[in-house]
Amino acid sequence: MTAPPPPVHPFPGGTSVSHLRVYDWPTSDGVGVVGGGTPHLHTASDEGYVVLRGAGAVQTLGPHGYAEHRLREGSMLWFQPGVVHRLVNDGDLEILVVMSNAGLPEAGDAIMTFPPHVLADAERYRAAATLPEGPPGRDAEIAAAARARRDLAVDGFTTLRDRVLAEGPAQPMQELYDAAARLVRHRVPGWHTTWQATVVASAHATDQALSDLAQGTGPHLARAQISATNADPGLRYGMCGRLTTWRSSAPQRPDVRHVGSVEQT
């Protein structure tokens, strides 16, 4: 009799990974040789980019002001919560995305830079951020909605960038941060549960292992397991491009729609 497969544990350190092909749709402001992604920030999670292919840039807004960071094959860039980031595709840009706190980014941790009147209204924000559900035959409709969402966030990003350049980052960025905190406040109790089960549990396991090893013992070594998972099937539209994701014990990404199955927003 074949043994059942072992359970899929959270990815090491409570992180998550995805493969991103940055959108090649022309942007509403003409930035990028072939296209670009949706500007957004994360409210609680770090994010890292490892460039696998192609070229482009990531434009950022934060307490530092405005900056543009060039990307090419082999580049690696990472940033903390509060850094607004916008991917610019100058050709075939593909990225391995590494997120901290797996399950938080997948449950609404990201806030898109829609214009202020949208950010100020939770229902209006939800309507602008949510992509339609549907079977594979509705792919064109879902893609059009993802592109419209991207362009609306670019409009807000452009206004915010102009204010940062004219006024300095302090006031414009604080207004965005206040709006973002209000929008995610109701999610935080659930985030605490996910975080405790993944990141905190991983840190506690390491702490215990180090304590045991310091005593010359290693009981955790005899409990070692292997986890494996395949890429989720189906076409996905993320905020910045088309995504390949892998399931873990954490929920799925809220900014993604699977064509052929129901996903979160």
Mark out the alpha helices in 99-169 (DSSP H runs).
Answer: 116-119, 122-129, 139-167
CATH number assigned to the domain comprising residue 127: 2.60.120.10
pLDDT (tens digit, 9 = 90+) per residue, 178-216?
A: 999 999 999 999 999 999 999 999 999 999 999 999 999
pTM of the model as a whole: 0.89
Full residue range of the structural domain in which residue 29 is found: 12-193+229-258
Tell me, yes or no, whether 169 lies in a domain.
yes
The answer for residues whose C-beta is within 8 angstroms of residue 103's C-beta and 6 or more apart is 16, 191, 194, 195, 197, 198, 250, 251
Number of domains, the chain: 1
Tell me, yes or no, whether 218 lies in a domain.
no
Tell me, yes or no, whether 119 lies in a domain.
yes
pLDDT (tens digit, 9 = 90+) per residue, 142-162?
A: 999 999 999 999 999 999 999
Tell me, yes or no, whether 212 lies in a domain.
no
| Per-residue pLDDT band at 8 (split at 50, 70, 90) | low
Q: Which two tokens stand for residue 53?
A: 């292919």
Tell me, yes or no, whether 175 lies in a domain.
yes
Tell me, yes or no, whether 5 lies in a domain.
no
Tell me, yes or no, whether 1 lies in a domain.
no
Tell me, yes or no, whether 221 lies in a domain.
no
